[in-house]
Structure 1
Amino acid sequence: MDTIPARTTEELLRLRKRHVNPTLSVAYREPLKIVRGAGAWLYDESGRGYLDMVNNVCHVGHCHPRVVAAGQQQMARLNTNTRYLHDNLVEYALRLTATLPEPLSVVFFTNSGSEANDLALRLVQAHVRARGAVVVDHAYHGNLSSLIELSPYKFNGKGGQGKPAHVEVAQMPDSYRGPCRDAAAAGTYYAGAVDAAVARLAGRGQRAGVFLCESLLGCGGQIVLPQGYLAASYAAVRAAGGLCLADEVQVGFGRAGDHFWAFQQQGVVPDIVTLGKPIGNGHPMGAVVTTPEIAASFVSGMEYFNTFGGNPVSCAIALAVLEVIAEEGLQQQAAEVGAFLQDGLRSLQQAYEPIGDVRGCGLFIGAEIVTDRASRAPDRTLARAIVEQMKDRQVLLSTDGPDDNVLKIKPPLVFSRDNAAEFLHKLAEVLALLRPA
């Protein structure tokens, strides 16, 4: 293959504008040209390193040597589809389901989290014969048409077409800026919004077939669900004959720290779990895990075949990811480094008024930026300024939430205590510059 020319940033932007999807954005006012990654770091064309604190895809670190080698070795030997028998497929299904509670024991393989959520909806409809869906406000579940319809983040945003008739939206369980801020009561209070959404569907003659909820809310603003929320919400949906779907596409595989799966923090067992992003450390792969009973309902005579889903290379890579998480103690590292990060952020919160709230678990953390703590009014402008200033200091952050004012912190699990200390030091510099204590 001929060498690809090394183009300047200006050339790349010009060519993207002419030839690439025009709705695709780039990060930062001055875009970065990233050419290499290693561990928790990304490097630009000049060799400058940037501490990556937003990449929850390269779960065990950019270009982890063991994961890369697993893919290379299998690709050099065989890659084909699942109509042939192969040890990798069965071995990965065994090891994956061993991390999940019973009766979640049947796996369907896909190429992405979006595909996984779309397939999960087909499983729901096959099992309960109801299309009605309850989702949480500002949620995002994937880029397929079926999932844009279930993503308020999209259908209520720019270019969106509004809520479809078969969907009801439950209020986001935000204990910081929402109407209920009592930690002891919040789970029951916000689950009431799910129950009310089920009732609204019933009032239109529709049955709630599914409650689709991330186990930790990403686009909603890095929100940790209040205790008891999923238990009460699941009970309301199941009482109406529906199924409960845990979207772990962004938050699974040990990121939560104390648990391998974020839904386990709530003491519940979903009917279906969907996986993506970290499953292959950046390799395109996803999965749906469900119960034998629900899987049996999908057996209608129509085959589910996915040309690339579960291929030997993808499964080899995914096996390596599980092995690295276990052998390098990355779940425990997520718990310990995440606690250190939250403690450091709360120390900064004492000195700087704009840090209104610090929340999270493991290496899933949000810092909400506000104009003042009394009003808790979002300060999007300051949040974006912090992101840009941190980028100038070679730390990559981003923002999320309905008002785009929450600093989202979701680094690869290899992110270390030293990395965290560097981040906290530089954030203190930026806050002192932008909002002196």
Structure 2
Amino acid sequence: MSNTAYMVNGFDVSTVDALDPHLQEIVKRRSRLLGPAYKLFYANPVQFVRSEGVHLYDAQGNAYLDVYNNVPSVGHAHPHVTAAITRQAQTLNTHTRYAAEPILDYAERLLATHTEGLGNVMFTCTGSEAVDLALRITRFQTGGTGIVVTSNAYHGLTSAVAEISPTMGPSVPLGPYVRTVPPPDPYRTDGRDVGEAFAEGVAAAIADLERHGIRFAGFIADTLFSTDGILPDPAGFLKPVVDIVHRAGGLYIADEVQPGFARTGDAMWGYQRHGILPDLVVMGKPMGNGMPIAGVVARPEILADFGTKIRYFNTFGGNSVSIAAAAAVLDVIEDEKLLDNSRTVGQYLREGVGDLAEDHPRMGAVRGAGLYVAADFIRPDTGAPDGDLALAVVNGLRERRVLISATGAQGSILKIRPPLPFTRAHVDTFIEALSDVLATVEIP
């Protein structure tokens, strides 16, 4: 079995001997030193040596347009963020068991971006840790263990979180207390209201847990349903799900690792776009532009008992340098008006991809929110998802020095997710490259 198993756009190590000799040596060295679990992107992997803004640069100095990475949310090596990291690293870096004001200043700013009612924040190093903590809080608060997720969800890599991440594949089995529901896909509800159909699925999953003697604890979803195919519309369809979760005695967890920090253009957080108030909100990768900082925002009444009875400490979570990075990210989002940019440039991006789809019958629906856009590839004879064509397009773009990937259960959906400072000029470059690939790609 190749190392592409259960990873969309993964490099197949069996083809390593076809690579450029220098890259071939790097790949073999990776395998020898890091083991087989580490995966590379693309049929022809690429080595990067530096980055700036929305570009990555290879060892020959070639610039690659980044239309994929959300971790450097305000752009690669942003000077304001790197300066803040440097200053703090030269001054103090310690944990949260000493009294310090910067973490409190940042917590106040961060909580002010969330909806009223969410008043506490706990810091971790990674999104996986944050989800793990959210699960602990949820189970403590409810006394239950049962969790409901969507059928191709991804929430992280710890043992507990991998068990609620179906997209990890059959070699990572779901926990016995986990139930899955079909994603809220308006194209597969037979004309029914997507919110009602989705809520009914959640209710059925909760009933199945209880029928098997498993007390329901909570529901968790990425509010853009990124690995399920990027399903943002219609805004507001999550409201009935919140009601069902609460009526069943559970907590609603909003996973904002991908939708958060101005990504959708409509609001700072994806859940706000739906007009809901979660019980817990999980944040991750974009928080520190790549520095190890993540967290859980909660309604204070949920943490009141947990915080007094459960000893929780994360040595590196909320460390001084990561807090400085996170504060600088908020500065950039505000000062450079990146929420507005995500909305306006995102609309321009969707229109550009949509125009291409009209001329290419194997491109299906185009959808998105802000700077997060999806484009389906389908087989015109059956309408079935076409993962082979999507992957061919992804690799064709890579050869034109444009970075992108795919998502969805069959890997048939282009995942278009650039850093937030993306401009209309960058969109034009991407659309030109995508048009060229669509005109020349060999259709599998």
Equivalent pair of 1:217/1:225 in contact (CA under 8 Å): no
**Which blocks of at least 5 consecutive residues in structure 1 are unaligned?**
1-6
Equivalent pair of 1:207/1:240 in contact (CA under 8 Å): no
Match for 2:372: what amino acid? F
1:65 to 79, 91, 99: 79
TM-score for both structures, normalised by structure 1: 0.94
Which residue does the alignment assign to 2:13?
none
| 1:337 and 2:316 aligned | no
| 1:380 and 2:392 aligned | no
1:172 to 171, 174, 183: 183
Q: CA deviation at 1:21?
A: 2.9
CA RMSD of aligned residues (A): 1.4
Cα distance in 2 for partners of 1:345, 1:181 equals 26
Q: CA deviation at 1:207?
A: 2.1
- More divergent stretch after superposition (39-48 vs 384-393): 384-393
Cα distance in 2 for partners of 1:301, 1:398 equals 44
Cα distance in 2 for partners of 1:168, 1:149 equals 11
Q: CA deviation at 1:227?
A: 4.1
Match for 2:203: what amino acid? D
Which residue does the alignment assign to 1:102?
116
Deviations 1:317-348 (A, max 9, x none): 10000010000011111111110011111111
Which residue does the alignment assign to 2:249?
241
Match for 1:31: what amino acid? P
Which residue does the alignment assign to 2:172?
160
Equivalent pair of 1:187/1:225 in contact (CA under 8 Å): no
* 1:414-425 matches, cutoff 5 A: 414-425=421-432
Equivalent pair of 2:163/2:172 in contact (CA under 8 Å): no
Deviations 1:118-156 (A, max 9, x none): 0001111121111111111100000000011111112xx
TM-score for both structures, normalised by structure 2: 0.93
2:399 to 392, 395, 407: 392
Cα distance in 1 for partners of 2:235, 2:347 equals 19
Which residue does the alignment assign to 1:129?
143
Cα distance in 2 for partners of 1:181, 1:23 equals 40
Deviations 1:91-132 (A, max 9, x none): 110000000012101010000000000000111112111111
Which residue does the alignment assign to 2:98?
84
Match for 2:265: what amino acid? G
Cα distance in 1 for partners of 2:227, 2:26 equals 29
Q: Report the 3-state secondary structure (helix = DSSP H, G, I; strand = E; otherwise coil) of the residue aligned with 1:84.
A: coil
Q: CA deviation at 1:237?
A: 1.0
1:44 to 46, 51, 58: 58
Q: Report the 3-state secondary structure (helix = DSSP H, G, I; strand = E; otherwise coil) of the residue aligned with 2:221.
A: strand
Q: CA deviation at 1:194?
A: 0.5
Which residue does the alignment assign to 2:10?
none
Percent of matched pairs sharing the same residue: 42
- More divergent stretch after superposition (163-172 vs 72-81): 163-172
Cα distance in 2 for partners of 1:302, 1:294 equals 13
Match for 1:359: what amino acid? R
Cα distance in 2 for partners of 1:83, 1:24 equals 34
* 1:221-240 matches, cutoff 5 A: 221-240=229-248
Cα distance in 1 for partners of 2:235, 2:341 equals 24
Q: Report the 3-state secondary structure (helix = DSSP H, G, I; strand = E; otherwise coil) of the residue aligned with 1:274.
A: strand
Q: Report the 3-state secondary structure (helix = DSSP H, G, I; strand = E; otherwise coil) of the residue aligned with 1:270.
A: coil
Deviations 1:240-287 (A, max 9, x none): 100000000111000000111011121101000000010000111101
Q: Report the 3-state secondary structure (helix = DSSP H, G, I; strand = E; otherwise coil) of the residue aligned with 1:287.
A: strand
Q: 4+ runs of 1 displaced by more than 6 Å?
A: none
Equivalent pair of 1:272/1:291 in contact (CA under 8 Å): yes
Match for 2:432: what amino acid? H
Equivalent pair of 1:187/1:227 in contact (CA under 8 Å): no
From the superposition, tell whether residues 315 and 147 of structure 1 become closer, same or farther in structure 2 (CA, over 3 Å).
Answer: same
Q: CA deviation at 1:160?
A: 2.5
Equivalent pair of 1:330/1:413 in contact (CA under 8 Å): yes
Q: Report the 3-state secondary structure (helix = DSSP H, G, I; strand = E; otherwise coil) of the residue aligned with 1:98.
A: helix
Cα distance in 2 for partners of 1:340, 1:85 equals 46
**Which blocks of at least 5 consecutive residues in structure 2 are unaligned?**
1-20
Q: CA deviation at 1:30?
A: 1.4
Q: CA deviation at 1:226?
A: 3.8
Q: CA deviation at 1:32?
A: 0.4
* 1:10-409 matches, cutoff 5 A: 10-154=24-168, 157-161=169-173, 163-176=174-187, 178=188, 180-182=189-191, 185-372=193-380, 375-409=382-416
Cα distance in 2 for partners of 1:190, 1:291 equals 25
| 1:9 and 2:26 aligned | no
Cα distance in 2 for partners of 1:143, 1:241 equals 27
